[in-house]
Chains A and B, each alone.
Chain A
Amino acid sequence: ELKVEQNPLFLSMQEGKNYTIYCNYSTTSDRLYWYRQDPGKSLESLFVLLSNGAVKQEGRLMASLDTKARLSTLHITAAVHDLSATYFCAVLQGAQKLVFGQGTRLTINP
């Protein structure tokens, strides 16, 4: 059974700093997603990573995928308060089922 693990689960950081969230998964998959969730809200798609070595960037967020290591990273550059949220990675199992990590609750302090 596919397992997806994120770390850290909680992250408190200062504005302007850089940090990385890690997502490990246990079996091969065709694709990996990163989502953002604000409290009480739905899941906002950030990135879809399809192949080994894929790197995508949007603003201060950059995601990468290493399928051989079964590892994805979400890197935050020069964090700002607006990025405070919970971030989930999700791995596609089979053709339709998304298996989510536990989520990383990110708090960015001024």
Chain B
Amino acid sequence: EPEVTQTPSHQVTQMGQEVILRCVPISNHLYFYWYRQILGQKVEFLVSFYNNEISEKSEIFDDQFSVERPDGSNFTLKIRSTKLEDSAMYFCASSEGRLNEQFFGPGTRLTVL
């Protein structure tokens, strides 16, 4: 069964460093998303992406965040200068269509020291 994959599973970085989290959405899906979950808290929407542009973003998704689909398969989230409060689990998701069910990847645990 097709699934969303994410790499790495765990990333440790120093405050102020740039990180790139990678996702491979399900191959025939057209809509891509990033969510994050701070430990023990609820899942929060960051951004949605369609047709090579951001279609919606939350107030969490400020100028230090960016997303890109650099090729036909990968979808990346970049955090330019990480802060301690960026430590969280980051989930990528994809869906076939605008209102279709979103399928979640296994997550990348980001730890900022």
Chain A residues proximal to chain B, CB less than 8 Å: 30-31, 33, 35, 41-43, 45, 48, 88, 90, 92, 94-103
Contact = CB atoms under 8 A, between A and B. Distances in A.
Interface in B35-83: 35, 41-45, 48, 50, 55-56, 58
27 contacts: A31-B99, A33-B101, A35-B104, A42-B104, A42-B106, A43-B43, A43-B104, A45-B103, A45-B104, A88-B43, A90-B43, A92-B99, A94-B56, A95-B98, A95-B99, A96-B33, A96-B48, A96-B50, A96-B95, A97-B48, A97-B56, A98-B43, A98-B45, A98-B102, A99-B45, A100-B44, A101-B42
Contacts of B56: 94, 96-97
B12 to A, nearest CB: 16
A23 B98 CA distance: 24
| Interface majority SS (helix, strand, loop, mixed), chain B | strand
Contacts of B44: 100
A81 to B, nearest CB: 22
Given A88-B43, A97-B56, A42 B105 contact: yes
B25 interface: no
Contacts of B99: 30-31, 92, 95
Contacts of B106: 41-42
Most buried by A among B31, B104, B105: B104
Contacts of A102: 41-42
A30 B102 CA distance: 14
Nearest to A96: B48
Contacts of B55: 96
Contacts of B91: 42-43
Contacts of B42: 88, 100-103
A94 B99 CA distance: 9
